[in-house]
Structure 1
Amino acid sequence: MRRLLPSLFSFACTCAVLVAQSPCAISLGPDVTVCLEASFRLVPQEITPNTTYSWSGGLGLSCYNCRTPLFTATDTGTFTYVLTAKKDSCTASDTISILVLPGKAAQYIIAPSRSLCEGDTMHLGGPPFANTSYSWFSQPPGFISTEANPVITALHQARYFLTASSPSCPIPSVDSVSVDIWFYKPTYTPAEDTLYLCRGQSLSLGIDSTGWDGIFTWTPTDALSIEQNGKRATATPARSVRYVLTAATPVGGCAWEKVYFLSVDSLPADLRILPQDTSICPGDTVLLRTPPFNLGNYPGLTFTWTRTPTTTLLTADTLPNLLVRPEQTTTYRRVVQVGSCRDTATAIVNLRPLAPLLLPPSNLTLCPGDSILLNSLFDPLANYTWTSTHPGFGTVQTPAPVFYPTQTATYYVETANGCIGRDSVRIAVHASALLQVSNDTTICRGQSVRLIALTDTPGGLFEWVRTRDNQVLSTAQSVLVSPDTTTSYIITFTYGSGCQRRDTVVVNVDGENLNVLFPSDPRLCPGETLTLNLAPNPSLQYEWTASPPDPGLAANAPAPVVSPGRNTTYTVTLRDGLCTLTRSLQTLVFSATLTASADTTICAGDRIVLSASGSGPSGRYLWSTGETTAIVAPSPDSATSFVVTYFYGDTCALRDTIKVTTVPSFSLAIVSVPDTNRLDLGQSVQLFASVSPPQSLSGFSFSWQETVIDTKNLPFNSANIEVRPASNDTASASIRYTLRAVSPQGCVRTAEKVFRLLFPLVRFPNAFTPDGDGNNDFFEMLVLEGRAQIERMQIFNRWGKVLFESTAPDARWDGTVHGLPAPSDVYLYRIAWRRNDGAMMPIAVGDVTLLR
């Protein structure tokens, strides 16, 4: 029987390495309270070996010079023990008090710690005691029990903790037992117990644990090839068999068994597909067979047929034999399987092609007299036999016969190239259409006649073509023609599917000499002449008229010459016997006006804009300068005449000249004193007008402008002025002066001068040292850029009293008050100041530190 205190006790000694008299620390933990008959060990933790221990404090310990004495509570009361531990020159001690209460401690039995084989079982406790309850748990977690003697299966290293409680003692008893794994069982590959293989196949079995050594035994050894170390074996059984592999450790007495059951299946010996490869004609069938065998010897045997591509099957695809009728060459695959046995076989059924044929389309309809090629594709080694319902066709044995059908019929063909093929085509033939047209006729030149075509077939298309130039005149059933000379006309009637009937009509023309040749370009400029007939014929009679009337027209001349002053239409009537011809020519007389700029005088070198405006249609301009726009802008240095020509109509032209007279010119610039482009605000600057070439300025007039944001006129009209620029435009920070000068001859020139304005940039020190060393001796306004001056400077002490005040433009404080040095302190300042142009700036307020 064991009784265990619920607390463990330990001490620790910490000594510095290689240092004498190092301090040590020891702790036996807190004081403990137990009941009678409790028994436990005081277990300090030893840090280094070779340590001596000495216990003192009275009876109750099993030993006094050992490390872990056993304490047994045999009497009530308080028991105090002191442990002294020595290690070289290091000495440490600690004290523990144990209070033993009346009442009997809970009773229990616990097994000693052990090392087991993986999978072994073990009882952790013993028989139960009356009025005692038990509670077990494990670390790592996973086990819980309330039995006095539970059984565990050793799968991994663990510690099992027991808590025993009874009504006689308020303090429960706590103890533990450790279970280590002496040997872990090996890992098997494959891990399954039941395996399947086909007869003749081999399978590797056994232990796959690297470094796992022991004693291995296989039973039985039939059909086994065992490796030298015995861990693994290769099995090639002919029938189902059970193998047992026993693995035992060389020490510790651990042993494990692994049972393998190998289920062996088999397939029939001959599983070919018959025929394996074959060829058939389209539409034929073939039976793909499996050689016969006794199906009862192979229970569970299955057949699965697949094919590529998917073609027609005539029987189910799960039978030993398969009846097929492929539409193309097909590969058939049959899988036979029972258990783990599987066999795959293939057979190819080649589809022999029929002799090639390319018949005419079935919707073809021929015209009367057309021929037809019955086949456009054939094999010269194959046989072709043709028959037809057409009278007189008979039997034809050529691959590609040509026939001229006269009626609708069906044509049949049979091909033979080892396979028999049959096909047919129906060829329709349109009935012949009736076409009647007008008779040949005679007309006078200039007259018209209507030609008419008649047919008995509705829905057709008509086309009239003039043979002289193959021009299509009409697609109507009739056409009105007016030929100048004898002309033939062809009428084509299209019906059915492109069938055609044709006829020709001749129209004879009398008076073919009636002809007038007008000029090709009847457009005239004012004053031009025009010959109205370029091919006069003295044998003909001419009668000319004009609208509006033209007094200069010779009414009976074969080729009159005219010069109309406006648009006029001329009409002529020619006579030759009974035939007449009337023709008209409309003339176009162009007219236009040209307006150009007036003569002018400019300063030499100035740009002058000259313009011209013409009123004629589609006009264009050409200046003596070579420019072709309506407006030009030359800059002559001397007197010049500019000629502009305006072209309009049919090469008609109008001209004008513009005379430009020049007077002497000059150039203008602004010179500043000082010569700079940077000015302080309010800084005075003189501006001078510089005229080149140099000359007297007495006859000149001047005007000045100033631009900052807006432009204003300055009240000066002299050549030289003085200004003081002012501005609030800190964004652009610039000012521009513009001078306009007019010479006595009226020439005008302008010039500009731009200055960058410097706005004052001031700073106020935050400290100064009036010690007379010439460095930072005064508090003053520092002008970093531009110009500025002080209006009033005031210095206050921290209570607001004025200590210093000045209105001098360059006021500064030397750090004295009434002639006496002011003490080091922080002083306040208030400074009013203005820019150089007089503008007041915001008052500066701040503090300055005087340092002495």
Structure 2
Amino acid sequence: MVKVLKYSFIIAFLLLFEIFPANATHIVGGVVNYRHVSGNTYTITLRVYRDCFFGQAPFDNPAIIGVYDDNNNFVSSLSFSNPIVSAVNPPINNPCLIIPPNICVEEGRYVGSFTAPNPNMGYHLVYQRCCRNNTISNINLPVGATYNAYIPPTSVYANSNPVFNIFPPLFICVNAPLVFNHSATDPDGDSLVYELCTPFQGGDTMNPVPNPPAPPPFPNVVFQPPFTQNNPLGSTVPLAININSGVLTGTPDFTGQFVVGVCVSEYRNGVFLSQTIRDFQFNVTTCNIPTANIPSTNIDPNTQIGDFIELCEDNTTVKFNHQSSGAVSYEWHFGDPTTTADVSTLQSPTWDYPLVPGNYLVTLIAINDVGCVDTARANVIVHPLPNVSLTNDTTICPNSQIQLSASGGVKYQWSPANLFSDPKLPNPIASPGFNNGNPVKIDVFVTDVNGCTSSDSMFIDFHPLPDIDAGMDTSVCLEPNSFRDSVQLQATGGVSYTWTPLSGLNDSTVSNPIARPPTNMTYHVTGVDLNGCSASDSVLVYFLDPKLDIISVEIEEICINDSTQLVVLDQGTITSYSWSPNFMLSDPNEREPIFYPNTTTDYILTISNYCYVKDDTVEIIVHPLPLANAGNLDSVCIGDTIQLNASGGIMYSWQYSPSLSDTSIANPFAFPTDTSKYYITVTDINGCIASDSVTVLVHQLPTPNTYTDDPRKYICFGQSVILRSEGGVQYNWNFSETLTTLFGDSTIATPLDTTMYIVKVTNKHSCKVKDSVVVNVQKPITPKGDSLFDICVGLNITPTVTGGLYYQWTPSDYLSFSNIPNPIITPQASIVYRVYISNDCFRDSLDIDVKVRELPDADAGPSMSTFRGIPVTLNGSGGGDYLWTPAEDLDDPLIANPTASPLWTTTYSLRVTNEYGCVDFDSLILTVNSKDLLLVPTGFTPDGDGMNDYFGILQHLNVEKLLEFKVFNRWGEVVFEGFDMDDEWNGRYKGKDQEMGTYIFLVRYRNFDGDILVERGNVTLLR
């Protein structure tokens, strides 16, 4: 995530008593300027800035400026008295910053004159003073300061040094970008070069006002590491100044007080004249600005932009969230290149990105309640879907397996998952069964390293299932060489066969083996058809052996009225069965009939087939039922529980009821909500079962009515009231010292505050319930609410008062309602309200003072027009603080009369704020006309006398870019070529002075309207 801070309204109040202690005193900054008047005379201006709130020393009166010549010889002392003292109202770098009332910086401006004794000599003007503020963070021993200027020889230059245009902001915000125009104006039009430099030390506590001041060279202040001349704020993004424009930029990382030095060097025709130094203090503090934060990962250390979310191109809907703080509104820009409507003001919006892979840069702007903003950015990454490769459609045998294969990702999921050995492998074994002969669709979902998923599918078809038949069931006799001691089996439907088990078979690999099993045996045959597909069938061969036990048990036990079916050895269809006695069973001639005797009985089975005749016997024992007892009739109060008690067996099962705690024990707990019957099934040691039931009566709780005998439904503080309760036969009141008795259907209460009294009421069934009554006690009024409001005319407030039940405001002027605790007040003038606050017993009042402040009268001035390239001064009025918008092309949008240099016709809006924070607006239209102007001289004299030594473009309007600037001699040679509007010809070519005469120039340029224009002409070179 990358953050860019912007500011748009006043928001912060600095607690300077915590940041800057009371002993932070004295010198804040200074500079020396001089201006050539005439002859050898100069006007000298000394500007000294001091802390006038905590400062202990006044401005010097007089101020002593020492004068030293080029050889550092003392010349004289200049004494400047009666400084012009004015409060400094510096431009505030951050409009979200409020300068607190305990900040005071004054400028002491001394003006005098100086006449150079020797016009061929240069002179140093030196002012020294103690002391700098002791709270400065970036230098050692901040004791004093030296401010000086150098006047080059008057006979050669008659110079005036540059004057800085604006005093720097006293306060800047930590972690917020700083952009300040620290440029200067040179009266002579000399070229200026800016740089950061180290300020000088000066007077100390032993000699606070040196007289005369010490000569150059001057000792520099010593920066305390990690602070340096080129990083005086110790920031990751250091303070820097543009060498050409003087614009100061940087982002401070630390709060504190820092000394900064800025030097401007002036050059005339490439010759260095002098350097002017100004030092000042930056107070870096924490500002109350919002923080925009989009949670991100993989943050780029250079751009500080990370990834908010990674998506796949089949689902590009993003639900945005953020972790911003201090904001009340938000503006999202989703970075969708397919539309210009990709914005939202919702706190957590949703956006559908195009189904196209790529990176989308989303921007969040967080705005606080006064308009200050912070910006965060993050990436939304849309990945392409993986390219899936899958096994082709195929045909297999029913119930066989096949290995499938897929590629294109790092994770796989096959479906249906139950058909695979491992559905998460890229090459699993599939077992699709037969699916009634219908093709099976196989899907595979492939996920790549980005978490994106694609799918593909294929079909598995089946060969027909072979119709394998093992033949009809058959039998053999026990005795060898008997009527039927073996049998030939016959399988059909395949081209090859395999029989199992091998016991009793002469050949297990033919379709018709001979079988003589040692007992009843089922033979299985597996046949394979021409497709290589297999199927199985079976045939049962009965082994007719009279020595075998025909009935599986000798004794069978049942309960009376029950039935049973015995397991009898199957001897095939060639065997007949006969049971005796032939009653109390379903069919005496059936192999396994149903038996239901009511007494213990022996049954004999006679079986007969072509191998033998045999009898077998079974005894069926009949047990009586248990004596089930669910218990006697009982009762319970609704909401209570009762324990049931059943008997007569070893296992119990109650019919399900949600009011039973456990249906599988003899004595569960019951909690019925109405009279209920519970059914129990009892099982004895023989497994015989009987049932019973029990009824539980449920009595209702009493329905009490508890109340007071006071019809007002309240009492006043200090009064008593009778409490009454009814609906039962017995009453018990919860203990309270405010009750006269705790027993009976009535009692007297004298509560000190609103109180709930609880009584337990019992009815004739001994069922109990609690009831309550609340005694409302109205106490004396304690009014609460703010008593002073300060608003701008035309606005409204909603004060809130509390402490009572009823409210009456007087007077009722400007009120939305006069009988509510929080009316809306829209006053047109200051007013004092009295609010009467009461309940049914007591009354009090509260006065509220509403002061209404007038709006400022904003005046942006009349609309104007200009030519492109000619600055215009706007003239606003009407208040203390100004804000012009748009701020582009303005030298300072925070002053009443900024200079505007727009390229196009612009509407400027002025926002004026007075000392009460009240705001008014006005606007004007600055019409920009297009006028093409290019002025060049008709001649020049490059003789080195400093007058008219160069040929170039003197003035221009509406020029966006110089395309060509050439000078030709009479033979057509290019003797000069310029690339910038400031480039000039010195009359030389190839290092030699050119002869006098007429030369041709050509200038080709593009204006701001996009037109290409050409200027041609002659220029005369004279010597």
What's the TM-score, normalizing by structure 2? 0.29
Question: Which structure carries more strand by proportion?
Answer: 1
Larger RCO: 1 or 2 (CA < 8 Å, sep 6+): 2
Q: Which has the larger radius of gyration?
A: 1
What's the TM-score, normalizing by structure 1? 0.33
